[in-house]
Amino acid sequence: MSIASMNSTVCNRDCPDACRLDVLVVDGRVTSISGSHEDPITRGFICERTRRFVERQHAPDRFPGPMLRRDGRLEPIGWSAALDLAAEKLATIRAESGPAAILHYRSGGSLGILKALSDRFFAAFGPVTVKTGDICSGAGETAQLIDFGLSESHDLADLVNSRLILIWGKNPHTSGIHLLPILKEAQKRGARLVGIEVRETKLRALCDEFHLIRPGGDFALAMATARALFDRDAVCPDLGDYTDGLEGYRALVTSRSLADWAARAGARPELACRLAELLAEESPASIQVGWGLGRRAGGCAAVRALDALAALSGNIGVPGGGVSFYFGRRTAFDQDFGLGPAAEPPRMLREALLGQEILAAREPEIRAVWVTAGNPVTMLPDSGTVREALASREFVVVVDSHPTDTTDVADLVLPCPTLLEDDDLLGAYGNHFLRASTPAVAPAADVLHEVEIIGGLACRLGLEADFSRPVGAWKRLAAARLEARGIGVDRLEREAVINPFRSPVLFADRRFPTASGRMQLITEEPVTPPDLDPEFPLLLLAASDPRSQSSQWSVAARGVADRVHVNPDSSAGLADGDRLILESRHASIEVTLVHDPGVGPGLALMAKGGMLRDGCCPNLLVAARETDAGGGAVYYDEPVRLRPPMAASR
């Protein structure tokens, strides 16, 4: 007779929603995953990639236990031997070359708060070299740190107070599906939804208006709209009372005509006038900003331009207003874990340029790399150089559950729990609710929680006094501030609780945590990217896909991730379905061409997250460059071209 149970946990992957999941377990095996009806955000539905995670949970290629590379192949090794080896190697390298010869790289493959404990361990063990910057949201978060003093958002529920919602470069049908019911509720209450995009998405069907602009034209369109507001004298009357830089901002906006700004945005002047009209007459207005805006050379400036546009139109500090780029998912938690201040790292390598930085590092060279919650070979620009850099190190350890491009160059793989087996605390970067995950099922492999891996290392390296605690104890330490507010870990494990430290409406007193206490307005135009080379007439856009969470695919990537969608008018006469070479100035991959009239002219659209091991990694084509601020990666400014295989350049 089968034994079935419905268990609960929380999704910890790199997604804005942090959904609570109902997991059906039959005879110890997960058979289905659904969204909790009781969670105020999840509301009973989840995305395709998480609904189908059961396939990944039981995938035959999952690491069965620790794996050591011998003669080029990963082979099983017991946990005791694996941790002994890791401790010996790290201690030897530290003794011979100093702790700066070790790089600890932690990314966002899991958003569990306890994953940051590895940062504290390596700071205590070294401190070692770490990365700086943020390839995904660094430019946008930095923009708002400059402008407002923090990167935060109004409560999601505040959107029902909006009369106008500009959804700018954001694709909630793919990334953040639980924004959709709130947008629909706001619309039902009278809000006008206006989408600004570079390609057709499902959002068009929801919006009252939907406008396409040139890729990278966001800064210029924001400036054109601001020019129209200045021209019609429809600006916030007390803007100068709470901002710095107003005259410089006005000079920047008026340095070009409305028509010139609009042309740079790839839009008609009428669009800027229409947006200005809406902002002037349909107040309050919220601007919902997509994370992709920050992934261009001028990404920080683009988000700053939207912050300034909201201020100019009087939509800062008011219910239903604001500019939403990010929610402070960590602000309720104690990330020092009661350990006190961490030692400063001796060296920081730029994440967007990581492959080059590792190869160039000297005095000391990087000899060992420890990778936590990430797949940098696939997800960083210039994937070929990242792979070369890691493959040439003396000792590479990767903590992961399934094979990736990065485990392919690892010397030691230490398997960790999947999201269904995890035990952690979660904030969200798309809402203000806090949750705690607990294992919905026993691990399907011989794994250790990341906290246990760190504890095992600590016992071997003389740091057991600080780092040898069970998972539950670390959860309580991280939740200390919440405990003081009467919100315990037990409650977070049962239900979502709104962050008690957030402000439902930001800056209602028009005071900002900047040096001057005032909002900072942008006063300088970013460097304009060069025009496309006629030899490389397309811009690569590797965007989120409903079937994958970064490089974690819910379906077989081959045959999906290697498709490139191009407008028929931009395909240079190449036929739909052709097997072609997509190349940039320094690399190429084989793709299948899909004619797609919904893709804007001059774009080559692919799904992000395809891996080298599957032959379809778009980041192989992307040059390693940093954004104008924030250490973001310039993913979306890479010129590419399509050619038949026999005509590919060599």
Domain of 71: which CATH number? Answer: 3.40.50.740
Among 293, 324, 355, the domain-final residue is: 324
| Cis amide bond preceding 364, omega within 30 | yes
Q: Pairing mode, if any, of strands 433-437 and 497-498?
A: antiparallel
Query: What's the token pair of residue 135?
Result: 């390839």
Confidence of residue 646 (pLDDT cuts 50, 70, 90): confident
Containing structural domain, residue 226:
138-324
Looking at the structure, tell me whether residues 481 and 378 fall in a common domain. yes
In a domain, 97, yes or no: yes
In a domain, 248, yes or no: yes
Q: How far apart are CA 537 and CA 381, in angstroms?
A: 20
SS3 label, residue 121: helix
What DSSP character marks residue 585? S
Residue 650 pLDDT: 42
What DSSP character marks residue 365? P
Closest by Cα among 540, 573, 542, 570 to 644: 573
**The dihedral of CA 28, 31, 37, 41: what is its sign?**
positive
**Tally of domains in the chain:** 3
Looking at the structure, tell me whether residues 92 and 145 fall in a common domain. no
What mean pLDDT comes out for the span 244-255? Answer: 98
Alpha helices in 495-593 (DSSP H): none
Residue 1 pLDDT: 80
Query: What's the token pair of residue 447?
Result: 């794994």
Q: What is the CATH number of the domain that holds 235?
A: 3.40.228.10
In a domain, 511, yes or no: no
Residue 158: partners with Cβ closer than 8 Å, 6 or more residues away: 286, 319, 320, 322, 504, 505
Residue 364 pLDDT: 98
In a domain, 530, yes or no: no
In a domain, 17, yes or no: no
Q: How far apart are CA 580 and CA 606, in angstroms?
A: 14
Query: What's the token pair of residue 207?
Result: 């919006």
pLDDT at 648 over 80: no
Q: Residue 609 carries which side chain, given as an amino acid letter? A: G
Looking at the structure, tell me whether residues 183 and 208 fall in a common domain. yes
Query: What's the token pair of residue 354?
Result: 């990581």
Residue 214 pLDDT: 95
Looking at the structure, tell me whether residues 314 and 394 fall in a common domain. no
CA atoms within 13 A on the CB side of 46: 24
pLDDT in tens, 188-238: 999 999 999 999 999 999 999 999 999 999 999 999 999 999 999 999 999
Q: Pairing mode, if any, of strands 588-595 and 579-583?
A: antiparallel
Query: What's the token pair of residue 160?
Result: 């029902």
Closest by Cα among 76, 14, 27 to 446: 76
Confidence of residue 350 (pLDDT cuts 50, 70, 90): very high
Query: What's the token pair of residue 531?
Result: 């025009």
Looking at the structure, tell me whether residues 128 and 152 fall in a common domain. no
Closest by Cα among 615, 597, 593 to 606: 593
Looking at the structure, tell me whether residues 264 and 206 fall in a common domain. yes
Average pLDDT across the chain, whole number: 96
What mean pLDDT comes out for the span 108-114? Answer: 96
Looking at the structure, tell me whether residues 308 and 181 fall in a common domain. yes
Under 8 Å between Cβ of 550 and 109: yes
Q: Does the model's pTM come out above 0.85? A: yes
Looking at the structure, tell me whether residues 484 and 626 fall in a common domain. no
What mean pLDDT comes out for the span 521-541? Answer: 90
Residue 539 pLDDT: 96
Least confident of 170-184, 186-200, 483-497, 634-648: 634-648
Among 266, 300, 324, the domain-final residue is: 324
Query: What's the token pair of residue 248?
Result: 């410089």
Under 8 Å between Cβ of 327 and 431: yes
Among 324, 354, 369, the domain-final residue is: 324
Q: How far apart are CA 539 and CA 561, in angstroms?
A: 17
Helix axes 299-312, 218-231, angle to 10 degrees: 20
pLDDT at 273 over 60: yes
Closest by Cα among 308, 194, 304, 211 to 266: 211
Residue 554 pLDDT: 82
Looking at the structure, tell me whether residues 307 and 353 fall in a common domain. no
Looking at the structure, tell me whether residues 198 and 89 fall in a common domain. no
Under 8 Å between Cβ of 447 and 421: yes
Q: Residue 313 carries which side chain, given as an amino acid letter? A: S
pLDDT at 647 over 80: no
pLDDT at 290 over 50: yes
Residue 166 pLDDT: 98
pLDDT in tens, 363-417: 999 999 999 999 999 999 999 999 999 999 999 999 999 999 999 999 999 999 9
pLDDT at 634 over 60: yes
pLDDT at 553 over 90: no
Under 8 Å between Cβ of 297 and 637: yes
Q: How far apart are CA 387 and CA 620, in angstroms?
A: 10
pLDDT in tens, 407-456: 999 999 999 999 999 999 999 999 999 999 999 999 989 999 999 999 99
Q: How far apart are CA 499 and CA 482, in angstroms?
A: 9
Q: Which tops the pLDDT comparison, 556 or 436?
A: 436
In a domain, 287, yes or no: yes
In a domain, 43, yes or no: no
What mean pLDDT comes out for the span 526-553? Answer: 89
CB burial readout 167-184, b (16+ within 10 A) else e? bbbbbbbbbbbbbeebbe
Residue 160 pLDDT: 98
Q: How far is CA 206 from CA 192, 193, 209, 472, 547, in A?
A: 10, 8, 9, 43, 21
Looking at the structure, tell me whether residues 340 and 316 fall in a common domain. no
Looking at the structure, tell me whether residues 402 and 285 fall in a common domain. no
In a domain, 451, yes or no: yes
What mean pLDDT comes out for the span 534-550? Answer: 93
Under 8 Å between Cβ of 489 and 423: no
Q: What is the CATH number of the domain that holds 569?
A: 2.40.40.20
